[in-house]
Amino acid sequence: MTDPGLPLAGMCVVEVSSFVAAPLGGMTLAQLGAEVIRIDPLGGAPDHHRWPLAPSGTSLYWAGLNKGKKSASVDLRSAEGQQLVTRLITDSGPDGGIVLTNSVGRDWLSYDALVPHRPDLIHVQIEGHHDGTPAVDYTVNAAVGFPMVTGPEGHADPVNHVLPAWDIACGLYSALGILGADRQRRVSGRGQRMSVALYDVALAAAGNLGFLAEAQVSRVVRKRYGNYLYGGFARDFTTRDGGRVMVVALTKRHWADLLTATELVDVVGALEKSLGVDFASEDDRFEYREVLAGLLSRWFSRADLAGVKAALAGTSLLWSTYNTFTDLVADTGEGPEIAGNPMMALIDQPGVGPHLAPGLPVSLDGSSPRPVRAPVLGEHTDDLLGRLGLSGGEIADLHERGVVRGTDG
């Protein structure tokens, strides 16, 4: 049951998906209150055993990206299985008729195949490129330029991101497309055929942030600046005891506070005067970043992490220590640090056990919708077939003939 108080209560989305983008898009709609039914082929899609894994072998990745959904397991190669999924899509009430998929090569699941059965169909096809050729986060990332400007200064090789940022953005864009189309359908009754290409998501980001125009209009050949902030002042510093701190001075006030905290007001003032520059200006801070970082790093390297934290705590400055994932879940004596975050809650996932999981990172009326565990593959197969009006005997027959499966595989 979805929570009737959530924004998307009543909406029903069928997802035929794998990996990150489509599952995240669907999960986000589920977190906002929609009923989201993930359809998998018998035995699961290729992401069903994707790393990272729990000690039991259960995929933490699959469990993390499919929280709060229903799961049906169907032989998608059989005409009968295809017809059942088609009915789940089309016979789903006025707030249903919504498909989110990254599946390719399944003609029966296309907009054109489904729309005769559901004229107000809302259909989102996630694809690699707009022409339908395949791509994944790693190839799109290589194609669009970011690995050539990421990583240590002077490093010669591309540095790929580990965060699948394009998949995440693509999934969120696909959910936005669905909600936009749902609004239009409420106003006008018409459905919508949409596609979101992973490559286009990445190219749009490069354009929106000015990277493409900088190359095209300003003819700047962007290089690597390590952990410096381009066009301003930010960098990481190491403390005497090996602590690592990221420090960001975006505004004049940040900069003034940083100089005061690090006892560099006079030294930097004298430097400004002798150079004839103004470090209150971001341009000058970036131009002289190495000089400024050199002075600052002396202060950081003489202090221990506790001292740095104490000195920066009362300031306006933007700063953070660097954490590992292990740091975030380490028991501090009062449980892990992240357990205090109101978005996080314990869920008990079959094959994983109790662990902290995030809910929706959007707080509604002051609280985040709580996380709901992921289904086990095929957990809702029978319920969903029952909803289509099939009798217990008919459902048993479908199992017998291998058209559908429950949690037994």
* Enzyme catalytic residues: 167
- For residues 70-129, which are near its own copies according to CB under 8 A? 128
Cβ distance to its own copies smaller for residue 57 or 276: 57
Q: Which listed residue (91, 104, 115, 158) binds its own copies by CB under 8 A?
A: 158
Tell me: does residue 176 bind its own copies (CB under 8 A).
Answer: yes
- For residues 315-334, which are near its own copies according to CB under 8 A? 318-329
Tell me: does residue 163 bind its own copies (CB under 8 A).
Answer: yes
Tell me: does residue 250 bind its own copies (CB under 8 A).
Answer: yes
In sequence order, the β-bridge partners of residue 354 are 348
Q: Could you tell me if 38 and 15 are in contact, meaning their C-beta atoms sit under 8 angstroms apart?
A: yes
Tell me: does residue 229 bind its own copies (CB under 8 A).
Answer: yes
Token couple for 145: 């330029």
Cβ distance to its own copies smaller for residue 114 or 344: 344
Q: C-beta of 245: minimal distance to its own copies in Å?
A: 8
Cβ distance to its own copies smaller for residue 267 or 310: 310
Tell me: does residue 251 bind its own copies (CB under 8 A).
Answer: yes
- For residues 265-284, which are near its own copies according to CB under 8 A? 282
- Look up residue 345 and give its amino acid: A
Q: Which listed residue (78, 110, 160, 297) binds its own copies by CB under 8 A?
A: 160
Q: Which listed residue (2, 13, 39, 173) binds its own copies by CB under 8 A?
A: 173
Q: Which listed residue (2, 28, 86, 239) binds its own copies by CB under 8 A?
A: 28
DSSP string, 1-49: ---TTSTTTT-EEEEE--SSHHHHHHHHHHHTT-EEEEEEETT--TTTT
Q: How many residues comprise the chain? A: 409
Q: Which residues contact 239 (CB under 8 A, 6 or more apart)?
A: 245, 300, 301, 303, 304, 305, 307, 308
In sequence order, the β-bridge partners of residue 331 are 336
SS3 180: helix
Query: Whose CA is closest to 134, among 37, 25, 18?
Result: 18
Tell me: does residue 350 bind its own copies (CB under 8 A).
Answer: no
Tell me: does residue 311 bind its own copies (CB under 8 A).
Answer: no
Cβ distance to its own copies smaller for residue 115 or 271: 115
Q: C-beta of 258: minimal distance to its own copies in Å?
A: 13
Cβ distance to its own copies smaller for residue 130 or 240: 130
Q: C-beta of 30: minimal distance to its own copies in Å?
A: 12
In the block, tokens 């029966």 appear at 108
CA distance 382 to 403: 12
Q: How many residues bind its own copies (CB under 8 A)?
A: 151
Cβ distance to its own copies smaller for residue 79 or 209: 209
CA distance 256 to 279: 10
- For residues 183-202, which are near its own copies according to CB under 8 A? 183-184, 186-187, 192-197, 200-201
Measured between alpha carbons, how far is residue 46 from residues 62, 162, 166 in Å? 10, 20, 19
Q: Which listed residue (77, 79, 153, 216) binds its own copies by CB under 8 A?
A: 216
Q: What angle do CA 27, 202, 165 make, to 5 degrees?
A: 45
